[in-house]
């Protein structure tokens, strides 16, 4: 297929998922071949799930509702305070870009498809409603980033640390579901799903 034909097919795909076709095609011209980007687009619009989010709950209550046997100790109300208010129903789409990429590129891809990265409250609501999903693939909420500082031997913050995002995953060694916090600076593998909400 010619580059023109691929561009046309990419635009059709984007219209189906509500993406910003002109802006994406501009990014294609800047960064990658049209054929490569279209292959990525064919994979990226994943499943959708409607979930109920209750921001009146504490983070501890949200974690309890997920019923994950393993919870990273840095995921606390202090490091990841609950934001928002009230109760709402939201559609979460799991984007799968089918290749390794960093956080900035993942966010850009989500934005071009007219979505925003899901927040921790939405991720935990998804985990509570559909616990089987994280046994299949890692699910990331890039909409909640927490700077976590190291402590010295006396418990005082050293001023050094990393930015973390919450993740639903499965620990194969223990055969248990897990809620973890991973550095936002890592390169995400090709099987990761990025939880996102329509704008």
* Angle value at C-alpha 142, between 185 and 26, nearest 5 degrees: 85
pTM of structure: 0.77
Q: For the residues of 161-181, what is the DSSP string, one character each?
A: EEEEEEEEEEETTTTEEEEEE
**What is the per-residue pLDDT for 4?**
45
Same domain (yes/no): 61, 142: yes
d(CA 17, CA 197): 12
Are residues 196 and 95 in contact, defined by beta-carbon separation less than 8 angstroms?
yes
Same domain (yes/no): 31, 62: no
Looking at the structure of the chain, the number of domains it has is: 2
Domain of 4? 1-43
Same domain (yes/no): 128, 173: yes
Same domain (yes/no): 83, 174: yes
Same domain (yes/no): 147, 187: yes
Tokens 């034909």: give the residue: 5
Same domain (yes/no): 97, 82: yes
d(CA 145, CA 190): 21
Domain CATH number, residue 96? 3.10.100
Distance of CA 72 to the CA centre of its chain: 17
**What is the per-residue pLDDT for 147?**
83
Same domain (yes/no): 135, 185: yes
Q: Which two tokens stand for residue 79?
A: 């490091």
pLDDT (tens place) for every residue of the chain, 199 residues total: 444 454 555 556 555 555 555 555 555 545 555 445 545 554 566 789 999 999 999 999 999 999 999 999 889 898 898 998 899 999 999 998 877 889 998 888 888 778 899 999 999 999 999 999 999 999 999 999 988 765 555 555 544 568 899 999 999 899 999 999 998 999 999 889 999 999 8
Same domain (yes/no): 183, 105: yes
Same domain (yes/no): 147, 186: yes
Eight-state DSSP code of residue 187: P
Same domain (yes/no): 149, 173: yes
d(CA 132, CA 128): 10
Same domain (yes/no): 33, 109: no
Same domain (yes/no): 24, 99: no
Ramachandran class of 125: left when φ > 0, alpha when ψ lies in -120 to 50, beta otherwise: alpha
* Angle value at C-alpha 104, between 101 and 108, nearest 5 degrees: 95
């Amino acid at each position: 297929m010619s580059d023109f034909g691929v561009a046309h097919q990419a635009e059709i795909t984007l219209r189906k998922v509500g993406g910003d076709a002109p802006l994406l095609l501009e990014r294609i011209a800047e960064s990658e071949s049209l054929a490569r980007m279209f292959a990525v687009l064919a994979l990226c619009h994943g499943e959708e799930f409607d979930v109920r989010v209750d921001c009146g709950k504490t983070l501890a209550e949200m974690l309890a509702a997920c019923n994950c046997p393993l919870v990273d100790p840095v995921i606390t109300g202090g490091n990841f305070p609950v934001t928002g208010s009230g109760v709402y129903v939201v559609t979460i789409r799991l984007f799968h870009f089918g290749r390794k990429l960093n956080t900035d590129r993942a966010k850009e891809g989500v934005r071009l498809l007219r979505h925003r990265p899901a927040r921790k409250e939405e991720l935990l609501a998804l985990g509570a409603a559909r616990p089987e999903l994280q046994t299949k693939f890692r699910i990331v909420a890039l909409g909640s980033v927490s700077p976590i500082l190291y402590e010295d031997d006396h418990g005082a913050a050293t001023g050094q640390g990393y930015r973390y995002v919450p993740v639903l995953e499965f620990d194969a060694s223990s055969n248990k579901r897990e809620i973890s916090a991973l550095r936002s600076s890592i390169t995400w593998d090709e099987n990761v799903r990025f939880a996102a909400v329509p704008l």
